[in-house]
Amino acid sequence: MHRIITFVAGTVLGGGVIYAVSRTGKQPTAVPAPMQFERRATPGDNTDNEFLKHGYPGPVSDFMLRSRYAASYNRALRNPNWVAEHLTRDNLKGTADRANSEFKEDKDIPAMFRALLKDYYRSGFDRGHMCPAADAKKDTESMNDTFFLSNIAPQVGKGFNRNYWASLETFVRDLTKSFDDVYCISGPLYLPEKQGDKWFVNYEVIGDPPNVAVPTHFFKVILAKRNNEPAFAIGAFALPNKEIDNDTPLTSFSLPIESIEKAAGLTFFDKVERKVGVVAPLCSKIQCTLEHDAWKKKKRNPK
């Protein structure tokens, strides 16, 4: 069972600073850019005036609550805004096999705003999961839910979706060996690159006619908790959507959570106060390293 709720996202533009992650994996550079903040509302909250007498134009974001994740979908970019998960040692157990699932268009999204299977055909990009299929082995329904295109974004295949990103997904799952509760929010970013003395946001759009934006980067923001410790562990990573050498340390993509918030126009885990004693850096609690291709080994040697 899953539910989908439509809400209106009010947009506020203001000055801010985002951190553009270098495509070489070097330390991020601060650059000025506008920010967007999402405000949940209903059209009725905004139409009680003469200007919107005949309707509220939006923007509208589609909120989805499914078996193994919650998500917000961006109708303009045809990608998720974010996908949120809660992982534990118990809820990762299961025998559902992704070989029995197929990618599918999300019919809960209005047709004119929907990502389509044909958009990805011969696009040169993989259909990259935000909530990984391997996080949803609980049952067939949970596994199938991860194959909605509303949980998918275009990712470079070799060296990223099939390699470095997959290793990062395994890293997040393996956190349940050290923590009792792991919360992970994943999503796309569209970050600027400097060309000459100016900054530009450039991204491809796939489909014929063009329909789905190709993110320049992807993020994972993680909040983890041990039952016997008062403090949360928090970490944030932003990776360029390109082939990444396996020798590149994961810590080179680590950023302050506020940097990703500013870039994405989102707020993460705002019910957790960010002060010493309440939160601690994730990488101070565990070793932030990736074991590449570990997910392949586990697939060959299932427990």
Q: 126, 156 in Cβ contact below 8 A? A: yes
Q: One-letter amino acid identity for 25?
A: G
Geometric angle at alpha carbon 293, from 291 and 297, rounded to 5°: 105
Q: Point out which residues pair with 60 in neighbouring strands.
A: 8
Geometric angle at alpha carbon 68, from 107 and 251, rounded to 5°: 110
Active site residues: 129
Alpha-carbon torsion (99, 176, 160, 18), positive or negative? positive
| Distance of alpha carbon 22 from alpha carbon 26, whole angstroms | 6
Peptide bond between residue 59 and the one before it cis (omega within 30 degrees of 0): yes
| Distance of alpha carbon 109 from alpha carbon 103, whole angstroms | 15
